[in-house]
Amino acid sequence: MKVTMDPALRDEIKAALVAAIGDRKVLWKPSDLLPYAADNSRMRPDEVSKHLPDIAVLPESTSDVQAVVEVAAEYKIPLIPKGGGSNRTGMLIPIHGGIVIDTIRMNKVLEVNIPNLYVTVQPGITLKELEEHLAGYGLALNQEQGSFKVATVGGSISTAGFSRKYQKYGIISDRIMSLEVVLADGRVLRTGPKVLYTSTGYRLHQLFVGAEGTLGIITEATLRVEPIPESAEVLMAFYDDIWTAYKAALRMTESGVMFVGADLSEPADPEACGAPPGKRAALCISFEGTKGEVEADVGYVKGLVRGSGGFLAGKDDAMLFYDEFTKLWCGDRALLGAEDETTAYVPTERVREFYDTLWDKIMPKYGMVPVPGNKYGIDVGRYSMSYCRFSIPERERGWEDYRMALAEVAGLAVALGGSISSCTGVGLKNKDELVLEFSDVAMETMWKIKNEFDPDDIMNPGKKLPKRKGGRLANGIGPAERKM
Ligand SMILES: Cc1cc2nc3c(=O)[nH]c(=O)nc-3n(C[C@H](O)[C@H](O)[C@H](O)COP(=O)(O)OP(=O)(O)OC[C@H]3O[C@@H](n4cnc5c(N)ncnc54)[C@H](O)[C@@H]3O)c2cc1C
């Protein structure tokens, strides 16, 4: 592992950064930079820990970030904003070296506005810290990602984070009222007033949703919050198999009944979760609201379950399953062995075809096998997701086969009218497949946006967008030549 920059240049940049923000906030020793060489993604074995940033900084304020960006802009060196580091697609790997902007110290709550139901925060606060803070006011953000203990507000916005409370509360992109962003030339952009909707300017804040740090650095976010509901309940229903359960779940969403989230799976040991013999699929549904609302909605869904051949688990089993699922969802899954996952968005009527093709045709061809209990993971409702987790074979061609399988699954999701990645973004992992999903005109428009915001390509370069042919599009749009 080596630091990529010319040592004299690195010393010069280090000195400029220390002068700008103080040496307490600048890291340059290789041992301090090591944690920034990887994130939560699966890397090609010979690439692991190969890429070190040249420098990392720990800003505490917008003006610190501005000062760092001004130095990077002057020298035209890459900048990689970092939140909790939990992304799974290589968004943080410093493939071109440069400066990591670690937002860990930018974790302050700046304003809680109860009458207008919003909170303004710095980007490095974790979703968990924010929920705990808001609970003191009887409020909640409800952005419950599996990674919420470590994922930050800045990271969640920049990856278009999915929340398992999607049905009732939406996802992070629905909750953004305004952002403050330091642009690639050091100017500060405020995307608009702190309002949930407006019919005036372009919705600039949406450009930063899922931008993966390639357009600017979010330094402040104002987000819609909700009062904590009076009552909450979890219902669990078991079915013979996943497709009978899926049909029942669709009937529930079509009925218009309000639930918070609904997840469908085939647990590794259904009986241990309270299922009677022979029932393999579990549908776990959560509800929140006033006591009366929850009672009515739960009663209604119980009727639907009984009418669709489902078996209702007891309250204790349902809670136990939900807690176990939460543990898995919120952490254990981060301990990846030779495994990975897909998170495609597939139109409702094609979901079965997606899984059948994936498990019967694509995965066996490349030797990928489902991780027990993770063959299916379907979130049902307005933000549906078709998840699965698989083991990667340990053999010589393991990596190539894994990449081929990913590419075919991506092609399948797109061919069925869906999207390659509904929650894990693009990073390095999915960028070559992006062209399957978007037309030439759409890709060119994205490059134009990137070019407008970041003409020197210093903002997390090499991520999110595939390389343009020959480094440039036919119309000449391309990154300016680097000085180094
Ligand atoms: C166990 C586990 C469960 C997960 N469950 C979910 C889930 O339920 N839903 C979901 O959506 N994802 C999930 N993920 C994926 C991941 O946690 C999310 O993508 C998360 O939102 C990333 O946040 P982070 O703070 O860790 O960002 P990081 O990994 O630090 O960064 C992600 C991207 O955001 C950019 N970025 C970070 N901060 C800023 C900033 N201030 N300004 C501009 N760009 C910035 C980075 O440059 C990078 O490109 C899970 C991951 C794990 C390991």
Ligand 1 center from residue 403 Cα (angstroms): 22
pLDDT in the model for residue 328: 64
Residue ID of nearest Cα to ligand 1 atom 18: 87
Q: Tell me what the mean pLDDT of segment 416-431 comes to.
A: 93
Ligand 1 closest atom vs CA 164: 8
User: How large is the angle between the packed helices 242-255 and 291-307, nearest 10 degrees?
Assistant: 140
| Cα 280 from Cα 268, distance rounded (Å) | 9
Give the pair of three-digit tokens for residue 367.
């030797």
Share of the chain above pLDDT 70, in %: 93
| Cα 31 from Cα 37, distance rounded (Å) | 11
132: CB partners within 8 A, 6+ apart: none
Residue 480 banded pLDDT, cuts 50, 70, 90: very low
**Pocket probe mutation, ligand 1, options 80, 147, 180, 342, max atoms within 8 Å of Cβ:** 147
Ligand 1 center from residue 305 Cα (angstroms): 35
Ligand 1 center from residue 38 Cα (angstroms): 13
Cross-strand pairs, 121: 109, 221
Strand runs labelled E in 244-314: 261-265, 281-289, 311-312
Architecture label for domain 336-435 = 2-Layer Sandwich (3.30)
| 453 close to 73: Cβ distance less than 8 angstroms | no
pLDDT in the model for residue 338: 77
Per-residue pLDDT of 87-123, as tens digits, reads 999 999 999 999 999 999 999 999 999 999 999 999 9
143: CB partners within 8 A, 6+ apart: 127, 156, 161, 163, 165, 169, 171, 172, 175
CATH classification for the domain delimited by 231-329, as one of 1.10.1660.10, 2.130.10.10, 3.30.70.3450, 1.10.10.2840: 3.30.70.3450
Per-residue pLDDT of 123-165, as tens digits, reads 999 999 999 999 999 999 999 998 999 999 999 999 999 999 9
| Cα 313 from Cα 318, distance rounded (Å) | 6
Q: 482 vs 247, which has greater pLDDT?
A: 247
Cross-strand pairs, 190: 180
Ligand 1 is surrounded, with C-beta below 6 A, by: 39-40, 80-88, 91-92, 103, 123, 145-147, 150-152, 154-156, 158-159, 161-162, 212-213, 217-218, 331, 333-334, 423-424, 460
Q: CATH topology of 231-329 equal to that of 336-435? A: yes
ipTM of this predicted complex?
A: 0.99
201: left (phi over 0), alpha (psi -120 to 50) or beta: beta
Write down the domain spans for the chain: 106-227, 231-329, 336-435
Residue 477 banded pLDDT, cuts 50, 70, 90: very low
Which CATH class, in words, describes the domain spanning 106-227?
alpha beta
| 91 close to 159: Cβ distance less than 8 angstroms | yes
Ligand 1 center from residue 86 Cα (angstroms): 5
**Pocket probe mutation, ligand 1, options 158, 173, 335, 419, max atoms within 8 Å of Cβ:** 158
Ligand 1 center from residue 279 Cα (angstroms): 35
